[in-house]
Structure 1
Amino acid sequence: MAAPWIADNGDGTYRNPILYADWSDPDAVRVGDDFYMTASSFHRVPGLPVLHSRDLVTWSVIGHALPRLEPVEEFRTPQWGCGVWAPALRHHDGLFWIVYPDPDRGIFVVTATDPAGPWSRPWLLKGGRGLIDPCPLWDDDGSAYLVHGWAKSRAGINNKLTAHRMSPDATELLDEGRVVVDGDALPGYRTLEGPKWYRRDGWYWIFAPAGGVATGWQSVFRSRHVFGPYEDRIVLAQGDTDVNGPHQGAWVTTSKGEDWFLHFQERGPFGRIVHLQPMRWGAEGWPEIGAAGKPVPGHAKPAVADAGPGTARTAEISDLQWTWSANPELGWATPLPGGGFRMACVPGGDDLRALPNVLGRRLPADRFRATVTLGLTGASAGARAGFTVLGATYAWIGVVRTVDGDRLVHRVADEGAAEVDAAPATPVDTPVTLGVDVHPDGTCRFRAGDEPVGPPFPATGGRWVGATLGIFATGDGGTADFSDPRVTA
């Protein structure tokens, strides 16, 4: 079956985006000939996804660093826009380190010897509200540092980068910190955030975006001294391309010595999709990204060692792509032997945005068809199960059990509003095949079998996330069996 999006063109070139899905705020490292990436996960559980690649173009999910969001009790209901914001991934002293922020609690650290896990329990490095986008730096002399940004919604300030001395084991900060880059002092700068800290050729480099998610750009700052002063240069911006707000990501160098930059682009209901840009060091010693500082639509693939397995031109389908809307309970979903899930019908309200037991995955492309087969077993009247595209607004198609039998329903909800019927309920026998066609403008058309049901639905993202393609079941007992989604172009 045709995959909905393949970045590898099969001829030694690739097209952007390399990941047409909501892998927000990506950070990446190379260890040997392998590349690893993590991304913001916000309220999704498990959190802190870890992806692997051998060529920087084709990626697969290999695990998550956070099995549950903590504090566990506070994340038993969906906390849209909270949870895990932009993390940093590093490899140091034989360990993989992820330093991540919870904007309501502080900056945390997890480590692992194997990026697929298990990972340590998170520990708090710096407590406080509004601390975001942390990145550690281990220097050549064994000293360590941390830089982070600020969220105005929590801290009352932003547009500044603050740095600390840090213990080499990342268990404590050794000073009160100081502002190393003040965006308010730079003409035209706003919402400076997302710093990534590096050392190269006697310079300290901070790669940091500014200008906001949808309209921003990528800047680079450099200094001969770790705490500055830093000089700045804009190295990537939209220009006359159709890639809005290209920024916030990771500089990586291949084992062959090539430099590349991963970043995201905001695409509404599709979330923050990931692009790969060539990068080189110019005559003045500054990095040059893309084509004359503008994003490229495609390029020759990176020169890497043997790409090895895992980089075939196929869609990556894995149970590891599934996440819950909040910390789950045991028994909510059980994998079926032939693929798919048996979901327990558990009590829940009528608003899917507040339902913790929505099992979802990122939209996989800007155009695709997804289908599932659904059957209800042992459920009593009032049980319902369905297939949804969920964001600030949402729509779903599915089955409601009544005293008179099962009914096929299609319902939608505007932002802040209750569900309403988008089509008349009709009798149906289960199992039934349900589907949705998604178009590049975010319009969705739901289906029962091959028949369209209801009018087109304009999908929207959630708070800081793209829309979710999800399944759910509610009720007082019984189960709903879902096949694995069949996703095609």
Structure 2
Amino acid sequence: MTPGVLGLAALAGVASAQVWRSDRGDGTYANPPLNADYPDPDIIRVGRDFYFASTTFANAPGLTLLHSRDLVNWDIVSHLIPRLDGSATFDLQDGGSYRHGIYAPSLRYRDGTFYVAVTPVGQNTRIYRARDPKGPWTHVALDRQAFDPALFFDDDGAVYLATSIGSDGTITLHTLDHDVTRITASRVIYYNKGAEGSKLLKRNGYYYLFNALPGKLALSVSRARALDGPWETRAQIDDTTGGHQGALVDLPDGGWYGFVMRDSGAIGRVTNISPVFWRDDWPVWGTPDAPGRVPDRARKPIQGQRFAEPPSSDDFAAPTLGRQWQWNHNPLDRLWSLTERPGFLRLHAAPGAHFWWARNTLVQKGQAPRARGEALVDTRGLRPGDVCGLGTLGKYSAQLSVVGRADGTRALTMRVTEDRTDGPHVEVRVPAQRVASPRLWLRTDMDFPAKVARLSYSEDGRRFTALGGTVPLMFDWRTGTFQGVQFALSCYNPAGTGGWLDVDRFTLSTPPQ
């Protein structure tokens, strides 16, 4: 397809994938561009191309990078980190790494090279780099931790890294060498109570420092003629008017847009984009007719670009996993395959006492407002003790699972795992009940406005039986995953060894209301 303005009829002809369409096909868009959990955004422009780096926590591969030509239609370019390293928790040891891992990346570009600064929880800050955004990416580790780092290249060639943490608000500026490999000096440049998530940019002789204020769910901007100040600060927007962590990106025509994340319930933290105009060298979110808020709907920043979106449905015919998939932690690669049975994803039973601690759970993001994930599976490879199926991963993880029995039969069960401060609690909603057919359709419906999920199954793909009642959909940064609820394909055995589950296909669609 050649680039061009997509009308509504053209949009309707695109094969269904995401359940949310930001591009309305009439030259406008609706927020958010991606109605899913893409938090802690950093967006840059390189020529006509926009790139968007986002948090992924313990998911592997880690640190998602997306691409767009208009800030509305995005697709996944790559994940920078094939396997997370530096901590046994990434391998689900020593308590695992849910709520930790990789977050708040800072994305920049200089002289043909992309750079990403990121601080894995409990480790020193890393600087990743690549000539091609598809990779391969290499990295160096600095000699300290910089919380929510903000990488910045100044006009004179100097390289800086700003950092602050919301429990304090002291903003430290590290100077780096030209090769971006080590810190050469550090100094405090400002104090903004509660500030974190810093972003630095420069315009018309002013430095602009954007900071999230998590305690207020608000965004502030500070400006100064020099990095050492004096700084003056103004409130920008908050979660009631659009979001609380982000900054600005310039357009090829000289205009500006803002990007900002907003806490959005069980779907997680979504990223909005907004027109921005300038008044007395201060950025103002929105338009002159409606200043101070992110619009629900607006004219697209750049017209005429073709429709794009991340993949979601998958028939597993490709030799590699689709870009939409990640594992709950680093996988055991010997226990999954796309080649043992071509056209199927084979999940061998991974070790795990129960679902929350099981290896090799394959996930992709839930999507608002409502999404249906359906997996067609072949259970003939199951062995006694195997627990394999489809469901949700989040604060409450509901799994519709087929269980292998000692007599060679298979049974269906529904279990809910709630992560609590005293550890995961498992509730069996439906005791194991025998199923005759080895070929099953497993379905998970997520209704984010209602904050519930429903699980059902079928032996013929037409008549579905609901099991276990509704399950809560919830976002909780203290327990759970610190992410929006995800679809999850899993296969594990508490004994550590077992058989396998073959997944023929996974389909994402919008359920009827």
Specify if TM > 0.5. Answer: yes
- Match of 1:413, SS state, is strand
- Match of 1:252, SS state, is strand
Alignment TM-score, normalising by the size of structure 2: 0.86
Alignment TM-score, normalising by the size of structure 1: 0.90
In the alignment, structure 1 segments of 5+ residues that lack a partner are: 153-157, 185-190
Percent identity between matched residues is 31
What does residue range 1-20 of structure 1 map to in structure 2 within 5 Å? 2=16, 3-20=18-35
Q: Distance in 1 between matches of 2:359 and 2:310?
A: 31
Aligned to 1:247: 244
- In structure 2, what residue type is equivalent to 1:322? W
Is the contact between residue 239 and residue 262 of structure 2 (CA under 8 Å) also seen in structure 1? no
Structure 2 counterpart of 1:113, from 124, 128, 131: 131
1:419–1:41 Cα change, 3 Å: same
Q: Distance in 2 between matches of 1:14 and 1:316?
A: 21
Aligned to 1:296: 295
Q: Distance in 2 between matches of 1:151 and 1:329?
A: 36
- In structure 2, what residue type is equivalent to 1:30? R
- In structure 1, what residue type is equivalent to 2:65? V
- Match of 2:329, SS state, is coil
Aligned to 2:418: 414
Count of paired positions: 463
- Match of 1:269, SS state, is helix
Structure 1 counterpart of 2:347, from 330, 343, 346: 343
Is the contact between residue 163 and residue 227 of structure 1 (CA under 8 Å) also seen in structure 2? no
1:255–1:172 Cα change, 3 Å: same
- In structure 2, what residue type is equivalent to 1:268? G
Is the contact between residue 177 and residue 183 of structure 2 (CA under 8 Å) also seen in structure 1? yes
Structure 1 counterpart of 2:191, from 182, 206, 226: 182
| 1:162 pairs with 2:161 | no
Deviation track 1:465-484 (CA, whole Å, cap 9, x = no partner) reads: 12221111113232111133
Q: Distance in 2 between matches of 1:231 and 1:422?
A: 56
Deviation track 1:197-230 (CA, whole Å, cap 9, x = no partner) reads: 1111111111111143xx5111111100112121
| 1:123 pairs with 2:140 | yes
- Match of 2:178, SS state, is coil
Structure 1 counterpart of 2:485, from 467, 470, 483: 467
Structure 1 counterpart of 2:440, from 432, 442, 457: 432
- Match of 1:25, SS state, is coil
Q: Distance in 2 between matches of 1:84 and 1:300?
A: 34
- Match of 1:331, SS state, is helix
Q: Distance in 2 between matches of 1:38 and 1:313?
A: 15
Shift of 1:325: 1.5
Q: Distance in 1 between matches of 2:239 and 2:329?
A: 35
Deviation track 1:99-125 (CA, whole Å, cap 9, x = no partner) reads: 0112311211100001111111x3212
Q: Distance in 2 between matches of 1:12 and 1:315?
A: 23
Aligned to 2:268: 271
Structure 2 counterpart of 1:141, from 139, 143, 156: 156
Aligned to 2:468: 454
Deviation track 1:312-366 (CA, whole Å, cap 9, x = no partner) reads: 479665711111121122233223687552111122211x222231111111222
Deviation track 1:67-91 (CA, whole Å, cap 9, x = no partner) reads: 1112164411130121112011011
- In structure 1, what residue type is equivalent to 2:182? E
Q: Distance in 2 between matches of 1:28 and 1:62?
A: 13
Is the contact between residue 280 and residue 288 of structure 1 (CA under 8 Å) also seen in structure 2? yes
Aligned to 1:235: 236
- Match of 2:50, SS state, is strand
Is the contact between residue 357 and residue 472 of structure 1 (CA under 8 Å) also seen in structure 2? yes
Q: Distance in 2 between matches of 1:211 and 1:71?
A: 28
Shift of 1:126: 3.7
- In structure 2, what residue type is equivalent to 1:58? N
- In structure 2, what residue type is equivalent to 1:474? Y
Aligned to 1:423: 430
Is the contact between residue 6 and residue 314 of structure 1 (CA under 8 Å) also seen in structure 2? no
Is the contact between residue 8 and residue 313 of structure 1 (CA under 8 Å) also seen in structure 2? no
| 1:394 pairs with 2:397 | yes
Shift of 1:192: 0.9
- In structure 2, what residue type is equivalent to 1:38? A
Deviation track 1:131-190 (CA, whole Å, cap 9, x = no partner) reads: 3111121111111111012264xxxxx222211221121111111x22222123xxxxxx
Is the contact between residue 76 and residue 310 of structure 2 (CA under 8 Å) also seen in structure 1? no
| 1:70 pairs with 2:77 | no
- Match of 2:356, SS state, is helix
CA RMSD, Structure 1 to Structure 2 (Å):
2.0
Q: Distance in 2 between matches of 1:28 and 1:376?
A: 43
In the alignment, structure 2 segments of 5+ residues that lack a partner are: 1-14, 315-321, 459-463
- Match of 2:323, SS state, is helix
Is the contact between residue 258 and residue 303 of structure 1 (CA under 8 Å) also seen in structure 2? no
Shift of 1:63: 0.7
